[in-house]
Structure 1
């Protein structure tokens, strides 16, 4: 084989492998600009607030969301609907206690995105693993592309994570004191520039 043909063949092989070897790229999430809101409902009312993201990263394959990992700082739980400072502090302390999230023992919760499926209009079907109180379960939700990152609304069944207080799943005769097992997490992630 002539030298010129060898060089051409080498360049062709190099081009094919480089075209096939497009790798996913990771991006850090801006934890200061990202926002996580929570809503918990009970008979006759609800409470809502925020909780901070400790760290997060998104894996992009071109323009497609391919994965990610997020750590939530459970010590940053804030209640936004109670204006009475004493009642607000009482609720937040209770949420941090072993009755709910046991943040002294479990200071973080985690979400790992396991698989993604692009849908339409910038929507991605996410399958992931959510860890709360050291217990991990699969979870599914849709994420929507925004100008600065992604937003999602995730429904979490707290009874699966041994968050038992006021749960009909654990206390059948609780009556009007029941707190819904499902709570909502609204996430607005901002990618680091």
Structure 2
């Protein structure tokens, strides 16, 4: 009986060792990667950038199986305005009304599942954390031949306690209403 358990234990160790060596972690080159955001309101839209602080993908047999990405929320920039208006909007986005970057300096995405669809496109399921609120997100991610990974995803800010100007929570905002969804256009360099 001891022999069976010993053989089973050795086989388990060999299997786990083999699996561990087929997984690779590929760091994202943050200085060459970009995250662009677009937020809309009744009277128009604004856009800008957020810097990636660090990130990596986990590959098994050359296919994405996981990953983790940290965004530097204090790096939020507005790119469609200049001067005083730009400074005011950037300050407001960093304030408690929106992302509260002094208290919540980072946001995090953890890939919990990745399934290859076709032509290097993966269906991704992940947990996104903003302001200590975590919710699942799903999106498609394309792994390109030029060692980049690209995606476009839409985030409902109201799920993360970012409710300023939201018509879902406040009445009579009229043309001051800011839509709950904002879009991210992500280009990661591996």
TM-score higher than 0.5 here? yes
Q: 1:121 is matched with which residue?
A: 119
Note the C-alpha offset of 1:148. 1.5
Spell out structure 1 runs of 4+ moving beyond 2 A. Answer: 16-23
| Alignment counterpart, residue 86 of structure 2, candidates 68, 88, 94 | 88
| Alignment counterpart, residue 131 of structure 1, candidates 121, 129, 132 | 129
CA distance in 2, matches of 1:18, 1:167: 49
Note the C-alpha offset of 1:63. 2.0
Q: TM-score, length-normalised on structure 1?
A: 0.87
CA distance in 2, matches of 1:17, 1:161: 41
CA distance in 1, matches of 2:157, 2:17: 45
SS in structure 1 at match of 2:29: coil
**Would you say 1:72 and 2:71 are equivalent positions?**
yes
Q: Is the alpha carbon distance of 1:111 and 1:18 closer, same or farther for their aligned partners in structure 2, counting shifts above 3 Å? A: closer
Provide the alpha-carbon RMSD of the alignment: 1.7
Note the C-alpha offset of 1:145. 1.1
Q: How does 1:104-183 map to 2 (within 5 A)?
A: 104-146=102-144, 147-183=146-182
SS in structure 2 at match of 1:164: coil
**Would you say 1:184 and 2:179 are equivalent positions?**
no
Note the C-alpha offset of 1:154. 1.1
Q: 1:102 is matched with which residue?
A: 100
Q: How does 1:14-53 map to 2 (within 5 A)?
A: 21=19, 23-53=22-52
Q: How many residues align?
A: 176
Q: 1:61 is matched with which residue?
A: 60
Q: TM-score, length-normalised on structure 2?
A: 0.88
CA distance in 1, matches of 2:180, 2:16: 50
CA distance in 1, matches of 2:94, 2:120: 36
CA distance in 1, matches of 2:152, 2:26: 21
Query: Max radius of gyration: which structure?
Result: 1
CA distance in 2, matches of 1:30, 1:20: 28
SS in structure 2 at match of 1:104: coil
Gaps of 5+ in 2: 1-10
Note the C-alpha offset of 1:175. 1.7
